[in-house]
Amino acid sequence: MNQRLLSLDAYRGTVMLFMASAGFGIPQVAHSNPDHPLALLAPLLEHVPWVGCAPWDLIQPAFMFMVGVAMPYSYGKRTALGETPGKQLMHAISRSIILVLLAVVLASRKQQTWIFTNVLGQIGLGYTFLYLIHKRSFKQQLIISGSILVSYWMLFALFPTQEPTADGSSLTGFFSHWSKNANIATAFDSWFLNLFPGSMWKPNEGGYHTLNFIPSLVTMVMGVMAGTYLQTDVPLLVKIQRFFIAGALLIVTGWILGQFACPIVKRIWTPTWVLFSGGWVMMLLGFFVLIVDHLQFQKLAWPFAIVGMNSIAIYLGSQLCTGWLREFLHIHFGGPAFYSQGSGPICERCGVLLLLWGLCWWLHKNKAYLRI
């Protein structure tokens, strides 16, 4: 089965819409008005401070997972068109470079900033390695993934513990090796990022690090495994069942290891986070394949799929145009009703999201797709 499944675009589109929504403005409303009826949803639409997982934390791993799922389809098509492995490798390398440079540009809108922690930078740093791994057998991919996770765990576990941070996010005992901005990844960034001209490195406020791309590569490899499996001749319902089983096993394994091996922390992409989040996004893939491809709810999937087909467009739009779109809404729709009951941020965010969706619809209607 080499035909692209609609569920994959719908999955990616759903993830991108959530990513662009900024929590639909609900966390902002909850912070200013805790009694607002929607304030109860705020914890679900924000990142956890350090250890643990909220649904909002699953957006980035879902997006990176889908990068892996798409790879067997993308390069399978290139192979079918007669493209040589050397040319495919050069395409992967060029895509890596473009994504990393784009990440730096997006981070440097006010001043030159050398950071590689946003999702495009993380994908770019790992993409060429992902391309090389995706050509290996399933067994080899499994061994490589396991080796990466164990090695990365040892890198943290063997690094001397550092002075705790003052924000209360430091961990105790053995888990102190994974405390916020007091770990090997922080030490690496303090050296690496200061190599760039004009750089004045300081610890990342959220605790994110460049080296996150190493374990997140495994998240993308999981996607490659899933995408490759989707192309087999195994009955679709069997595939769906196995995605749910594999996802459940990953969640349980990640949670158990998270009790004694290392904490489940998205911000530094700990090995236990790779397994735990990987299980959830794997099950989410099974859900989309079930609903869209097996049960044939394709009309329901269409509004999300057109966003998935232009994921780079909506990402750049959300990064570069949100301020302008908010001003547009204020000028043309701003009024007492827009801010009724303190719901202004929700109206703003939902309005911006609708405009961004309209952009994707217009691009799809004109068969225009932004590719890298």
Residue 190 falls within a domain, yes or no? yes
- pLDDT over 90 (residue 2): no
Number of domains in the chain: 1
pLDDT bin (cut points 50, 70, 90) of residue 335 is low
- Structural domain span for residue 247: 6-38+58-160+170-365
Residue 51 falls within a domain, yes or no? no
State the burial class of residue 3 (Cβ atoms within 10 Å of its Cβ: 0-12, 13-18, 19+).
exposed
Q: What are the backbone angles phi and psi of residue 22, rounded to the nearest 5°?
A: 55, 40
Residue 371 falls within a domain, yes or no? no
Residue 286 falls within a domain, yes or no? yes
Res 331: pLDDT: 80
* For residues 290-317, average pLDDT: 94
Residue 266 falls within a domain, yes or no? yes
Residue 247 falls within a domain, yes or no? yes
**pLDDT tens across 6-49, in order?**
999 999 999 999 999 999 999 988 888 888 888 899 999 999 99
The model's pTM = 0.93
**pLDDT tens across 172-223, in order?**
899 999 999 999 999 999 999 999 887 778 888 899 999 999 999 999 999 9
Residue 47 falls within a domain, yes or no? no
Res 1: pLDDT: 46
Residue 44 falls within a domain, yes or no? no
Cα-based distances in Å from 274 to 2, 269, 317, 322: 28, 6, 28, 31
pLDDT bin (cut points 50, 70, 90) of residue 102 is very high
pLDDT bin (cut points 50, 70, 90) of residue 347 is confident
d(CA 136, CA 133): 5
